[in-house]
Structure 1
Amino acid sequence: MVEALVQKLLWTGVTPGVNYLYGSIIQIQEDSIFFENLHFSPGKPIKTWRSRTNYQANRSCPELPLLYPGVTYRLEQKVTITPEQTAYFQIQYFNRQNEEIQRDILRNGQEEFTFPKDAFTYRISLMSAGCRQVEFFHIAIYGPENSAKPLVERNQVSSYTSGQEPEELRLVSRLIHQKG
């Protein structure tokens, strides 16, 4: 299978609700983010990326790409964790009613996940499992070569010759006035 980069995710900015701020030291460095919290509880999200947001309420745009249902993707992580193996990535999938329908836990540097057929949105979180420090560089989502293309491709033709119009327009073709 030929893979293509779907999107590279960075940790940009510090925002309440998507970053764990209480007692944390977060330093934005040139090519990474340094996070430290010596009293951090296991099972808490350190950073969350969302595929759907409420811009009116939070003034933030979705950070995650749209994914095809039923397609397998690969998540590649470039993260340094202290102590080692004390953080993981969690992917939660939600239906149209915002009910969680599935959850994947990714613990290794590269792992695959399949976007569920019933999923409408999803969320990726960097979770603590007793970590004290994290140096985050990026995570990247890779998918099949055709998954990096837009979900809907529009026909760019703005005019049609007689008999060449798409099937959808044949019903109303007599109502369309042609410029002469």
Structure 2
Amino acid sequence: MSDKFINQVYWDSGAEAYYTGSQISSSARQRIHFVNRLMEASASIIEWESATSYQAAKTVPALPILQVNHQYRLVVGLKTDPAQTVLIRLDFFNLQGDRIKRLEFYNPNHQFVYPVGAYSYKISLINAGATELDFSRLQIADAQTPAAAFADLWPQGLHRSAAMPHDRFCFLVRDGKQSRSRDTGLAAQFGQFSYQVVNVAWQFTGDLVAELGTHFAELNGEKLHLVSTTPATDQTVAQFCALHPKVDGMVTDQCSDPDLAHYEWTGNTSWYSPELVEPDWLTISRAVKQQWKEG
């Protein structure tokens, strides 16, 4: 059902950081604010490796395994003060640990080819005059991945159904920490409906209700059915339906908002389990179809 196609790496993912004289604070969603006004230029602020000795370091590799001679896109969630004062460096090593290639760039959205002969690689953020920075995550994916897929909020393509052209079912999916998934094969479950999956990064800190309001501002006469696939988005559905009474909402059975009882299309559903990494699409589809019949 799901294609994990964007790997996500964070500041504390087994990385080596420059701590001397540094002030480092982390939000609840692992967004990092780093300050060091005395660090010398060319010093490595932080680095991640794709190969480590677990016995020596007691950590697993931070970076995903890549395919030789394949083109990738690296997106670095990074803001610096002053601007463009952190250099992004990629080093590639052979089996003996010798460096065979180095790439350096300032653009936080960069494509590269994993070179022939490479056995491992390292990504470093190098100081080039920065006094502070904000960092969210590294994202690594196939170079053909659309740019929109790296955003905190990603509405995937709308699948239209000729059978029900006036109803749109939107499924909110909160991403896991390690990867973003592209949901495939859902036509077998929801093919009779016009449907869309909206991915929400777990680090998202914006106003999700407002963002969805902008996205669905023009529905061209369609009836919107907003479905939460995880407790993390239940309140978003509840708040959105309160602001837009013509929108039907469906939440998991973990939601205890009493106001949901006043909405036209609700569900007390049991598809969520903390043991599940991905949404239980089969159970969700059954609940949606049952609600549709009853409505």
Please confirm whether the aligned pair reaches a TM-score higher than 0.5, indicating the same fold: yes
CA contact (8 A) 2:37 2:131 kept: yes
CA contact (8 A) 2:88 2:108 kept: no
Q: 1:30 aligns with which of 28, 31, 38?
A: 28
Per-residue deviation at 1:106? 2.5
CA contact (8 A) 2:111 2:143 kept: no
Instruction: Measure, in 2, the Cα distance between the counterparts of 1:136 and 1:5.
Output: 21
Residues 32-72 of structure 1 deviation map (CA, whole Å, 9 limit, x = unaligned):
01111110111111111110011111111101000000001
1:81 aligns with 2:80: yes
For structure 1, which segment, 38-47 or 4-13, has the greater mean C-alpha deviation from structure 2 after superposition?
4-13
Per-residue deviation at 1:5? 3.2
CA contact (8 A) 2:73 2:143 kept: no
CA contact (8 A) 1:89 1:107 kept: yes
Q: How many positions carry a matched residue from both structures? A: 142
Change (3 A) 1:5 1:136: same
- So what's the TM-score if we normalise by structure 1? 0.73
Residues 123-142 of structure 1 deviation map (CA, whole Å, 9 limit, x = unaligned):
00111101110110112011
Pairs within 5 Å for 1:61-140:
61-140=60-139
1:10 aligns with 2:10: yes
Using the aligned pairs only, state the percent identity: 30
Instruction: Measure, in 1, the Cα distance between the counterparts of 2:78 and 2:24.
Output: 15
CA contact (8 A) 1:6 1:65 kept: no
- So what's the TM-score if we normalise by structure 2? 0.46
Per-residue deviation at 1:88? 1.8
1:45 aligns with 2:50: no
Instruction: Measure, in 2, the Cα distance between the counterparts of 1:105 and 1:73.
Output: 15
Q: SS state of the match for residue 61, structure 1?
A: coil
CA contact (8 A) 1:78 1:139 kept: yes
Q: SS state of the match for residue 96, structure 2?
A: coil
More helix, by proportion: 2
1:54 aligns with 2:50: no
- Unaligned stretches of 5+ residues in structure 2: 145-178, 180-295
Residues 96-134 of structure 1 deviation map (CA, whole Å, 9 limit, x = unaligned):
110000001131121101100110000001111011101
What's the RMSD between the two structures over aligned residues?
2.1
Instruction: Measure, in 1, the Cα distance between the counterparts of 2:37 and 2:139.
Output: 28
Change (3 A) 1:22 1:96: same
Q: SS state of the match for residue 56, structure 1?
A: helix
**Which stretches of structure 1, 4 residues or longer, exceed 2 Å deviation after superposition?**
none
Instruction: Measure, in 1, the Cα distance between the counterparts of 2:82 and 2:93.
Output: 32
1:19 aligns with 2:3: no
Instruction: Measure, in 1, the Cα distance between the counterparts of 2:47 and 2:24.
Output: 15
Q: SS state of the match for residue 16, structure 2?
A: coil
Per-residue deviation at 1:144? 5.6
Pairs within 5 Å for 1:136-155:
136-143=135-142
Q: Specify the code of the residue in structure 2 equivalent to 1:20.
A: Y
Q: Looking at both structures, which has the greater relative contact order when contacts are Cα pairs under 8 Å and sequence separation is at least 6?
A: 1
CA contact (8 A) 1:51 1:66 kept: yes
